[in-house]
Amino acid sequence: MQYCTFHKGKRKILESEQVDDHRNDTFLNDFKDKCNRLMFQIDCELNKLYEEVVFEVATFTKAYWGNGIHLPENIPAIPMAVVRCETLDGYDFEEALVNVLKIKPICISPSQTMQLYDLHEMLRKMGDKKYIILKQVECFTAGPYLDGLISVLSDSAWEMKIVLIVTIAVDFNVVFTRFSQESIWKVTLYCFHMPTPTCALQAVCEAVAIKPDNYMVIDGTLHKELRKRFLRDSLSVCEAKRILKVTLLHKLLECNDFGDEKAAKSGDVGMETVLATYDTFLYLLHELTAGFPYHAESVYELHSWIQSNPNFFFEKEGPYSTWKSIWITWSVEEMVDSLLKLWNPVRRITNCYSSEVQKLLVDLREIDQRKTTLQREALSEREATVIGICKKRLSLHEMQQRMRDKIAQKKRVDVVSHDRQRFIRLLTQIMSKTLRIFHKVPALEKKLLVGQQEVLNLVIPSITANLENAFLQPRLRNEHRSGIQMDLCLAYRSLLDLSLECKSIPIYRWLARFQEYLVDLNDTSPVLRLFRCIGELEFLGILKPASDRNRNKRMVSSSEGSDDDYSVLGDAFRDVASCNKTEEVDCDSCKEYIDRPNTQAVAFYNLIKYSLLMFTLPFIAMYCFYLFIKDYVGWAPSSALIPAALIAALVVYFVIALFVYVAYKEEKSGAEMQQIVKKQE
């Protein structure tokens, strides 16, 4: 209130006025209480996941505190615990370690560093049990700071060993790149592994998805979005908590008694019973489909499939349809094992399914006796039929009926296939009844967090969708298959083609190559489409405009008096458009590039260079070889002249061949440039 401005004493009136309705305070307190319970539920699951590693690090620290009261000079090693925390965001390793050790450490991070003198003073003022946590060591630069830290810890003045705990993201080799070799010699490394972020996601899902004792559960839409957002973008538990908080607030605004224990117990069937049944049969289905195609990586992925698809058990091309095609090939023993796993859970929920399971179990165990009995009955029927057939001649209709009877009789004898169909039908009925979508369970109404799309758009913003709506043209993207993104791909492809021919690419050549790939759009010119692609490619850092000294004279003359790097593009495009109308293409700039004045200078320089080599190199080679034969081989001077002359002749031929090769290469490059000019004409 002290920051507001009021007129004519209105502030005193507001301060003195009594507010009778405290609904806002009650609502906020209720939201805070329920939100804390939900977050505590998630934190408990995360602590269960990470407590093993935390206790290992704590045990390691206590062991070094208890061993070395007086350090001998020949054991200068500093205990260093390197903890790989993966890339998870949202779990406070420092707080968990403090809760176990009951001692607060000195924390050093890239954002909160301290002078080594201050560190020494803090260590001196601490008790006998000292430890330092160096966070995110990969963000430090290799230099004197980390080596100085090791020097401070290796001081012989400390009565007890100081434990250094280092946290890294993924790679343990980062420690060897940040500390010098002298510092590595002074430490004793111990490595600890935190669970992966995927395990943290499983813990979050376990806290809010299907456990019977959960305070709240989430529906399939919210569960799917949480998993997708976590695995694709953030790997952040904090972001998952933020999404759940906003969803809970939106739900409480719609339903005041959401999450109340009295409202939760008012249903006909208890929520704990429903969730316990769901949890049991979800794990059973995941176990029965192990090794199958489309097998879910985890139980929570299978849970997401079921909750996001109302027709999961009945669609023809889904994962469950594929699993049924494998169950139809199971042996009798495999079906018996599966029914034994289903027997106890099914017996708790309903009597009708338990009797069906029991009956099918008995039939499968007595399948040999049933098969023998049916074969005897079929044999007696067949003998009676054969006796009747032998007495008269059969018509075509009677022969067809006889064939149908044989097929039906064979199917009746094949009891294994019939029992497989019964097994699949019974399993589908049980799973579809127990693994229902949470929206269709009335008992979960006061406990179910629903992920509505408008709320998800608020808490999970889509940057890609926003950029498309802001920069792209929806009409082009919807009506034509060559939209902005396709134009960008074609522009980049044509740019790569031209980059093989020249380093600095003229715009008119880029436009000509770009038009070869384009699909014609009547209402948009290719010039505008290339302009848009140039802007996006420059924004992405893929290309940059040529400097003034690299532009040809034509482009420099057309861009005089303009400060915009791309102002020359409009003139070049207008020139191309006018040339297309009159069927005359102006290729002076490209001809200037081919017939540039330094071409003759290069040829003259090559001629002089190879002429000097032809007159000097053979004599040098002949003289050196002559001395070698005369002095080391021992030939007479007259005999040594003949092989020396042959060497000189070979050197002459080599220089001539080299000159011809260089001239051929220059001629070939000139012919390629002439072909490019002809294509433009």
* pLDDT single digits (tens) 266-298: 444 567 778 888 888 888 998 988 888 888 888
| Inside any domain, residue 593 | no
Q: 236 lies in a domain? A: no
The answer on 183 and 39 residing in a single domain is: yes
Structural domain ending residue among the three candidates 195, 228, 247: 195
Domain of residue 629: give its range: 598-680
Q: What is the pLDDT of residue 467?
A: 52
Task: Please identify, among 195, 211, 243, the residue that sits at the C-terminal boundary of a domain.
Answer: 195
Q: Tokens 């390793």 sit at which residue?
A: 93
Q: Is the pLDDT of residue 20 over 70?
A: no
76 C-beta neighbours (distance < 10 Å), count: 15
Measure the CA–CA gap between 308 and 312, rounded to whole angstroms. 9
End residue of a domain, out of 195, 217, 242: 195
Note whether 558 and 610 are same-domain residues. Answer: no
Residue labelled with tokens 């269960």: 48
Coil, strand, or helix at residue 81? strand
Q: Which helix (H) or strand (E) holds 285?
A: helix 271-288
551 band by pLDDT with thresholds 50, 70 and 90? very low
The pLDDT assigned to 490 comes to 78
pLDDT of residue 489 exceeding 80, the answer is no
Distances 487 to 240, 543, 571, 573 between C-alpha atoms, Å: 37, 16, 22, 18
Question: Which helix (DSSP H) or strand (DSSP E) does residue 296 occupy?
Answer: none
Both 413 and 495 in a single domain? no
Pair 355, 426: CB distance under 8 Å: no
Residue 568 has pLDDT above 70, yes or no: no
What per-residue confidence (pLDDT) applies to 457? 66
pLDDT value of position 410: 65
Note whether residue 290 is domain-resident: yes
Out of 8-17, 446-455, 458-467, pick the least confident: 8-17
- Beta-carbon contacts of residue 417 (< 8 Å; ≥ 6 apart): 411
Please state the separation of Cα 300 from the chain's center in Å: 18
- Nearest-angstrom CA–CA distance, 92 and 279: 30
CB 442 within 8 A of CB 267: yes
pLDDT of 159 > 50? The answer is: yes
Look at strands 78-84 and 187-193 and give their pairing. parallel
Q: 106-108 and 131-134 as β-strands: parallel, antiparallel, unpaired?
A: parallel
For the segment 120-140, what is each residue's pLDDT rounded down to a tens digit?
A: 888 888 878 888 898 888 888
User: For residue 180, what pLDDT is reported?
Assistant: 87
Task: Establish if 565 belongs to a structural domain.
Answer: yes
Cβ contact 430:352 at 8 Å: no
CB 99 within 8 A of CB 47: no
Calculate mean pLDDT across residues 511-525: 71
Q: Which of the residue ranges 236-245, 418-427, 602-611 would you say has the lowest mean pLDDT? A: 602-611
In a domain, 8, yes or no: no
Range 585-604 average pLDDT:
51
pLDDT at 196: 84
Output phi, psi for 587, to 5 deg: -115, 30
Q: Are residues 292 and 427 in the same domain?
A: yes
Contacts of 216 (CB under 8 A, 6+ apart): 34, 38, 41, 208, 248, 259, 447, 448, 449
Q: Are residues 417 and 281 in the same domain?
A: yes
Residues 561 and 470 in one domain: yes
Residue with tokens 């376990």: 206
Residue 555 has pLDDT above 60, yes or no: no
Q: How far apart are CA 502 and CA 493, in angstroms?
A: 15
The answer to whether residues 271 and 126 belong to one domain is no
Q: Determine, yes or no, domain membership for 204.
A: no
pTM: 0.54
Residue 177 has pLDDT above 70, yes or no: yes
pLDDT tens-digit profile of 52-105? 889 999 988 888 887 544 444 445 578 889 998 876 777 888 888 888 888 888
Which residues does 419 contact at the CB level (< 8 Å), separation at least 6?
332, 335, 360, 363, 364, 367
DSSP E strand boundaries for 87-243: 106-108, 131-134, 163-168, 187-193, 217-218
35-57 residue pLDDT tens:
888 888 888 888 888 888 899 99
Domain co-membership, 549 together with 432: no
Q: Are 195 and 50 in contact (CB under 8 A)?
A: yes
If you average pLDDT over every residue of the chain, what do you get?
Answer: 74
217-218 and 187-193: which strand pairing? unpaired
Specify whether 263 is located in the same domain as 372: yes
Residues 268 and 395 in one domain: yes
Highest-confidence segment of 58-72, 330-344, 461-475, 595-609: 330-344
Mean pLDDT, rounded, for 612-635: 80
The mean pLDDT value for 567-580 works out to 38
Tokens of 625: 């070889």
CB 206 within 8 A of CB 218: no
**425 and 482 both lie in a single domain:** no
Task: Quote the pLDDT of residue 212.
Answer: 66
* Residue 201, in any domain of the structure: no
Number of domains present in the structure of the chain: 4
CA–CA separation, 458 vs 455, rounded Å?
5
Average of per-residue pLDDT across 330-357 = 84
Contact 81, 163 (CB under 8 A): yes
Are residue 425 and residue 538 in the same domain, yes or no? no
Residue 50: which CATH number?
Answer: 3.40.50
Q: Tell me whether residue 207 is in a domain.
A: no
Among residues 228, 194, 278, 214, the alpha carbon closest in space to that of 39 is found at 214
The helix-helix angle for 415-434 and 271-288 (nearest 10°) equals 140
Q: In the predicted model, what is the mean pLDDT of residues 173-194?
A: 87
